[in-house]
Amino acid sequence: MVTATAAFLLLSAETAPAPAVRKSGIERNGAVLAAPVPLPRPRPADAPAIGADMPETASPSAPAVPVAPAASICRLALTEAIAIAPSIPDIHGPGGCGGEDLVRLEAVVLPDKRLVTLRPAAVLRCAMASAIADWIRSDIAPLAASLGSVISDLDNFDAFECRGRNRVAGAALSEHGRANALDVRALKLASGQSIALTDRNVSREVRENVLHSVCARFSTVLGPGSDGYHEDHIHLDLMERRNNYKICQWNVWDPLPRVAPLLPAERPAEAPPREGAAQSDSAADPDAVEAKPLTTPPTKKRR
């Protein structure tokens, strides 16, 4: 009985119509095959590498890397063939102190590749450093050659310093505070000679040549006789003023006499007599004084 029933069910399953099948592929010999997946076309040979044109994404925890500003025209022109002047970061101090496009001027390179060392190195704006380099290369080097030597050192008395003018409390910000000024005391030659720019005993012609060269290049020149603050050095800066107005105040003093005269020179014998020199014998002789009797004041009577 069980066997007959199972045989009947098996026969019914084989002869029953199959359920409808959704044909989503290709039918071949009555069988449905899956449709082939389309592949992308091959990448052209001249296409850029994958990811080459996409910036790298930093991880959220990584700090942002600051982007260095583009080099200025001055920075590009001030090459190692002209000066040893590495760039330093911008300085932003209180009251506008500091500046941008700063360099540390360590030495100036002469056309013959000799170095003129700044002692100590000067922190300056690039434009001021470039002006100092041009001045030494074009004016001071020929001056040293006329003296039979070569310029070797520049005595830097002061460069960048965050302070007011002349270090006076409450004064306006100095150009030194803007890294736009340099104080020079002396120029030293390879022969060992030192040209102190405010020394009266240095050749007046040499000092005047330096005076004319700096006044032609810098907008401010202050030296002896200017304001009482620059008697032992020369101040140079590139301060911008209306109508390109310049200040050049430096008195090139004559040398002092070796021996200061203590007494006036003796009066020549042929000099005419001074006015009022002729006097009577009695007036000239202190002993010839007319004697006068002594008198006593009258006494009052007591009442």
Higher pLDDT, 40 or 171: 171
Tokens of 223: 């030296």
Given a contact cutoff of 8 angstroms between Cβ atoms, the answer to whether 183 and 165 are in contact is: no
Query: Are the C-beta atoms of 100 and 90 separated by less than 8 Å?
Result: yes
3-state secondary structure of 114: coil
| 232-279 per-position pLDDT tens digit | 999 999 999 999 999 999 999 998 877 766 677 777 888 888 775 555
pLDDT of residue 61: 62
The mean of the pLDDT values for the chain is 82
Domain that holds residue 159: 73-249
Number of separate domains in the chain: 1
Q: Give pLDDT, residue 296.
A: 53
What pLDDT sits at residue 274?
A: 74
DSSP readout, the chain?
Answer: -HHHHHHHHHHHHHHSPPPP----SEEETTEEEPPPPPPPPPPPTTSPPTTTTSPPPPPTTSPPPPPPPPPPHHHHHS-TTTEE--EE--EE-GGG-EESSEEEEEEEE-TTS-EEEEEEEEEEEHHHHHHHHHHIIIIIHHHHHHTTS-EEEEEEEE-----BGGG-TTPPBPGGGGT-EEEEEEEEETTS-EEETT-TTS-HHHHHHHHHHHHHH-SEEE-TTSSSS-SSSEEEE----GGG--EEE---PPPPPSS---SPPPPPTTSPPPTT----HHHH-TT---------PPPPPP-
Distances (CA, A) of 51 to 41, 60, 88, 141, 233: 19, 20, 35, 55, 61
pLDDT at 230: 95
| Pairwise pLDDT comparison (130 vs 23), residue with the higher score | 130
The structure tokens listed for 43 are 């990448």
CA 246 to chain centre: 19
Residue whose C-alpha is closest to residue 131's, from 197, 235, 218, 215: 218
Dihedral over Cα of 249, 254, 257, 260: its sign: negative
Whether 31 maps to a domain, the answer reads no
- The pTM for the full model equals 0.65
Q: What would the mean pLDDT of 210-230 be, rounded to a whole number?
A: 96
**pLDDT of amino acid 51:** 58
Is 78 domain-assigned?
yes
- Whether cis (ω within 30° of 0) applies to the bond prior to 120 is yes
Per-residue pLDDT for 301 more than 50? Answer: no
Q: Is the pLDDT of residue 294 over 80?
A: no
Residues with Cβ within 8 Å of 194's Cβ and at least 6 positions away in sequence, in order, are 186, 187, 188
Asked if residue 195 is part of any domain, the answer here is: yes
- Confidence class of residue 48 from pLDDT cuts 50, 70 and 90? confident
**What pLDDT was estimated at residue 21?**
45
Lowest-confidence segment of 174-183, 184-193, 243-252, 283-292 by average pLDDT: 283-292
Please check the confidence at residue 226 and state whether its pLDDT lies above 70.
Answer: yes
Domain assignment present for residue 67? The answer is no
The reply to whether 260 falls in a domain is no
Q: For residue 23, what pLDDT band results from cuts at 50, 70 and 90?
A: very low
Q: Taking 70 as the threshold, does the pLDDT of residue 216 lie above it?
A: yes
Q: pLDDT of 70-88, one tens digit each?
A: 899 999 999 999 999 999 9
Place of tokens 């001056």: 143
Mean of the pLDDT values across residues 89-112? Answer: 96
Indicate whether 95 belongs to any domain.
Answer: yes
* 213 is a domain residue: yes
- Count other Cβ atoms within 10 Å, centred on residue 127: 17
Q: What is the pLDDT of residue 270?
A: 83
Tokens read off for 73: 């025209």
Residue 300 covered by a domain: no
